[in-house]
Amino acid sequence: MAYITLKNINKIYPNGFHAVHDFNLEAERGEFIVFVGPSGCGKSTTLRMIAGLEDISKGEFLIDGQLANNWGPREREVAMVFQSYALYPNMTVYDNLAFGLSLQGVDEDVIDERVRKTAKILGLTDYLDRMPRALSGGQRQRVAVGRSIIRKVGIFLMDEPLSNLDAKQRVTMRSEITQIHRETGATTIYVTHDQTEAMTMADRIVVMKNGYVQQIGTPKDVYFNPRNMFVAGFIGEPPMNFIRRKVENGCITVAGHAFDLGKKLGDKVKDYEGKEIVFGFRPEGIVLGEKENAYIAEGTVELTEMLGDNANVYVDIDSDKSILKVTPHEIPEMDSQVTFSIPYESVYLFDAVTEMVI
């Protein structure tokens, strides 16, 4: 049975704003779930409802099969790490870690053992006597995480815990949090607007937009089988390229080439005759030159970005801007024409009206 269940959860704020619509999710014990989506899509609101910090306006929230809508945060056995973590500035790292347990009246010996174990997991052993002001941002964040994991909880909630760190620290903490999750085994819900964090850390990703869940799936699922244009454009970096065209005689015309959509859609292409369709392909889904079993197109190179192991090439295809990912040895000249192939299996077609994948 799922450990946490959200059934048609809604949040309507007192001012009448409907921030979350019919959110459904079943998280297994020990699962690492990431809520991802642009600012304001309802990630934090949903997390706060799970934490018991925000009332659930409508719907059912269950923990281990029991209705928990009205349970307080303590009964839910949750720990939460926020974006703006506040450590106690006048306490050492040791005391910061120990404080919550002391309040609960836990024995000194047990506290000491847990503080040392937590510090070890987080690489803070050498800093236990330091004050927070004498720590780097990353170390402070680790203490904040430590304060949460030191209590043995069933549910671990994190709201953008890495957003105050620099790019390098974020990468390090990303793998540390994954490691901590493995060691503690707590069911974890992690909120971020960063699709890379979501892809690298999650067992399953919940993609949200405007208060609605767009798709729930493993990182592979949401990358390879996006349900709609929003998910296709949000997951993947650089984002998927989209070309909007009218279907005529089963084809769309791109850079003077007729793309026979029957190759992809079979008989279904008839349903789109005379209508607009969105042709999607990922920057990394292309091959330079002309290949078999692929749509072939050309574009003018407007900009190239050398990234080290690969390069982004910005091309103009009949005024549509697209990005192609190539190896560093394939970078074309500025203003030159590049011919590239989009293998049929790398193409995604979307209904231009519903924006759903076809």
**Which residue ranges make up the site for ligand ATP (CB under 6 A)?**
13, 15, 17, 19, 37, 39-45, 193
C-alpha 354/C-alpha 345 separation (Å) is 22
Residue with tokens 């011919």: 339
38: tokens are: 């642009």
Q: Which is nearer to ligand ATP, 36 or 153 (CB)?
A: 36
Q: Which is nearer to ligand ATP, 18 or 291 (CB)?
A: 18
CB of 155 to ligand ATP, least distance (A): 18
Q: Which is nearer to ligand ATP, 39 or 319 (CB)?
A: 39
C-alpha 339/C-alpha 286 separation (Å) is 10
Q: Which is nearer to ligand ATP, 204 or 325 (CB)?
A: 204
CB of 36 to ligand ATP, least distance (A): 9
Residue with tokens 């990468």: 171
Q: Which is nearer to ligand ATP, 184 or 192 (CB)?
A: 192
CB of 19 to ligand ATP, least distance (A): 4
CB of 193 to ligand ATP, least distance (A): 5
Q: Give the count of beta carbons closer than 10 Å to the beta carbon of residue 222.
A: 27
C-alpha 227/C-alpha 221 separation (Å) is 10
Q: Which is nearer to ligand ATP, 174 or 193 (CB)?
A: 193
CB of 232 to ligand ATP, least distance (A): 20
H-only helix segments in the chain: 43-51, 73-76, 93-103, 108-122, 137-149, 167-184, 195-201, 219-224, 229-234, 262-265
CB of 222 to ligand ATP, least distance (A): 17
Q: Which is nearer to ligand ATP, 15 or 66 (CB)?
A: 15
| φ and ψ of 234, to 5 deg | -85, -35
In the chain the first and final C-alpha atoms are separated, in Å, by: 33
Instruction: State the DSSP string of 283-330.
Output: GGG-EES--SSEEEEEEEEEEEEE-SS-EEEEEEETTEEEEEEE-GGG
Q: Which of 10, 43, 7 is nearest to 27 (CA)?
A: 7
Asked if 184 contacts 149 with a C-beta cutoff of 8 angstroms, the reply is yes
C-alpha 160/C-alpha 36 separation (Å) is 10
C-alpha 33/C-alpha 308 separation (Å) is 31
Asked if 157 contacts 80 with a C-beta cutoff of 8 angstroms, the reply is yes
CB of 108 to ligand ATP, least distance (A): 39
CB of 85 to ligand ATP, least distance (A): 15
C-alpha 176/C-alpha 210 separation (Å) is 31
CB of 212 to ligand ATP, least distance (A): 12
Q: Which is nearer to ligand ATP, 17 or 224 (CB)?
A: 17
Q: Which is nearer to ligand ATP, 207 or 323 (CB)?
A: 207
